[in-house]
């Protein structure tokens, strides 16, 4: 006798149904002291952390439920340096990322100051005047070009460009471009830097978190751009070989919470608090130029560079304690050491290590040796510039 065949129909969930189920899983989950180990919770968090950044892909119902959950858990979903969101609270992380995505997606004229902006990147003294800056930029120098001002959180800044604007040029508000979503601790929202395509004429830009203002110029172009920037907060800015010590005494008191110290070889972006008492930026940046030249010598490249490397301090970074790249990223706890000449001259490791990564060459850095050959740079700079022998800087506890 033939048994009757039973047809089973597997109905796949729609993306919206899967999103709602994931959200419900996180709402029902009670955080413990450690990150969740339940597979369903991990999968729900992973799904939504990926989905919320594509707001247009979320159904109206999903967004409505996310908005309701955010309204009920707003304080819980507000990361601060003093109260970071941690991996043990997946709902808070998802809601924080969702609000972060919504906030950054707002049209310029709808942008308002975000509630965490005063905590990080930092506050601007009440009554601080806004100013206009005029600059002339050589577009043969690519990368982030500082526009000598700070965009206050939620305020519209106008960047006027005249001349031939290279294709791919962008305006950026905020030096802190690391996406920290993969880190266990969020002392700030995952993404707080915002970019805008730039065009000739008027460019209106705004960022709910505020930040230093840049023009990002792609490589391979020539000519000059005339730039006028309106409605920015003055920021401390030192240009090696241009800013005099006398000018620096006033410049270092500019009210923006972040500062830049620039040479043609390295640019430091640090909290303004660590440079208020910096009396001699000339000696400091001479030291950093010597470091960069030593790395160039070891890498057998010219001292003069197409563009300067950048080193930025951040309250949290995307990977490691520090990491290489453009920019090199370091924790804010190291910002004071970045501008402490006595500390640097006594020998250090992390800064030189990350700069070394940016000078490695695949011709002599084979697979698996990335964290090996880089140490040549730290050893070389410590010996040549700081006068430290290898056995004084190679060992447990040296940073």
6 found inside a domain: no
CATH number at residue 302: 3.40.390.80
Mean pLDDT across 3-18: 62
Q: How far apart are CA 99 and CA 225, in angstroms?
A: 36
Query: Same structural domain for residues 68 and 21?
Result: yes
Query: Same structural domain for residues 318 and 191?
Result: no
Residue 9's pLDDT is what? 37
Q: Are 318 and 179 in contact (CB under 8 A)?
A: yes
Helices 39-51 and 15-28 cross at an angle (nearest 10°) of 120
The mean pLDDT value of the chain amounts to 94
Query: Same structural domain for residues 221 and 361?
Result: no
Residue 233's pLDDT is what? 98
Q: How far apart are CA 226 and CA 224, in angstroms?
A: 7
Give the predicted TM-score (pTM) of the model. 0.93
- Res. 6 pLDDT band, cuts 50 70 90: very low
Residue 40's pLDDT is what? 96
4 found inside a domain: no
Query: Same structural domain for residues 119 and 199?
Result: yes
Q: What angle do CA 170, 173, 174 make, to 5 degrees?
A: 125
Give the three-class secondary structure for 160: strand
CATH number at residue 146: 2.60.120.1250
7 found inside a domain: no
User: How many structural domains is the chain composed of?
Assistant: 3
Residue 368's pLDDT is what? 84
3 found inside a domain: no
Residue 398's pLDDT is what? 42
Residue 393's pLDDT is what? 74
- Greatest Cα pair distance, the chain, in angstroms, is 102
Residue 8 has pLDDT above 80, yes or no: no
* Strand arrangement of the beta sheet that strand 170-173 belongs to: 143-151, 211-217, 170-173, 194-197
347 found inside a domain: yes
Query: Same structural domain for residues 77 and 193?
Result: no
Residue 243 has pLDDT above 70, yes or no: yes
Residue 395's pLDDT is what? 56
Q: Give percent above pLDDT 70 in the chain.
A: 95
Query: Same structural domain for residues 188 and 328?
Result: no
Of 105, 125, 157, the domain-final residue: 105
8 found inside a domain: no
Query: Same structural domain for residues 137 and 266?
Result: no
Q: Are 231 and 158 in contact (CB under 8 A)?
A: yes
pLDDT tens readout for residues 385-395: 999 887 777 65
384 found inside a domain: yes
Q: Which of 4-13, 258-267, 280-289 has the lowest mean pLDDT?
A: 4-13
Of 205, 233, 261, the domain-final residue: 233
Of 179, 203, 233, the domain-final residue: 233
2 found inside a domain: no
pLDDT tens readout for residues 19-39: 999 999 999 999 999 999 999
In terms of residue numbers, what domain contains 202?
112-233
Query: Same structural domain for residues 75 and 123?
Result: no
Sign of CA dihedral 144, 148, 151, 155: negative
């Amino acid at each position: 006798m033939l048994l009757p065949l039973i047809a089973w129909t597997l109905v796949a969930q729609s993306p919206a149904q899967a999103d709602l189920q994931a959200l419900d899983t996180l709402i029902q989950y009670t955080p413990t002291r450690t990150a969740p180990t339940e597979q369903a919770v991990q999968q729900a968090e992973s799904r939504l952390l990926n989905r919320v950044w594509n707001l247009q892909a979320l159904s109206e119902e999903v967004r409505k439920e996310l908005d309701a959950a955010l309204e009920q858990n707003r304080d819980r979903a507000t990361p601060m340096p003093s109260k970071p969101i941690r991996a043990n609270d997946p709902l808070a992380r998802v809601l924080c990322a969702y609000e972060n995505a919504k906030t950054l997606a707002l049209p310029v004229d709808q942008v308002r100051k975000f509630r965490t902006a005063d905590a990080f990147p930092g506050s601007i003294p009440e009554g601080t005047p806004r100013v206009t800056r005029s600059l002339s930029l050589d577009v043969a120098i690519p990368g982030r070009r500082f526009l000598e001002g700070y965009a206050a959180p939620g305020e519209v800044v106008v960047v006027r460009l005249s001349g031939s604007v290279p294709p791919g040029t962008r305006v950026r508000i905020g030096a802190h471009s690391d996406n920290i979503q993969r880190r266990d601790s969020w002392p700030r929202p995952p993404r707080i830097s915002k970019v805008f395509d730039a065009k000739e004429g008027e460019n209106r830009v705004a960022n709910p978190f505020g930040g230093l203002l840049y023009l990002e110029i792609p490589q391979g172009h020539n000519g000059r751009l005339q730039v006028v920037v309106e409605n920015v907060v003055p920021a401390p800015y030192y240009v090696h070989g241009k800013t005099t010590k006398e000018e620096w005494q006033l410049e270092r008191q500019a009210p923006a919470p972040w500062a830049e110290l620039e040479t043609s070889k390295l640019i430091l972006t640090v909290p303004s608090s660590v440079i208020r008492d910096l009396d001699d930026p000339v000696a400091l940046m001479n030291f950093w130029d010597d470091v960069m030249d030593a790395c160039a010598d070891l890498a057998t490249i010219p001292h003069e560079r197409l563009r300067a490397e950048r080193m930025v301090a951040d309250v949290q970074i995307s990977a490691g304690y520090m990491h290489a790249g453009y920019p090199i990223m370091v924790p804010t706890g190291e910002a004071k050491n970045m501008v402490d000449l006595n500390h640097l001259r006594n020998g250090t490791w992390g800064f030189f290590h990350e700069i070394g990564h940016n000078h490695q060459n695949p011709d002599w850095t084979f697979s698996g040796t990335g964290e090996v050959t880089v140490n040549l740079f730290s050893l070389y700079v410590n010996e040549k510039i700081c006068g430290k022998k290898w056995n004084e800087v190679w060992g447990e506890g040296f940073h």
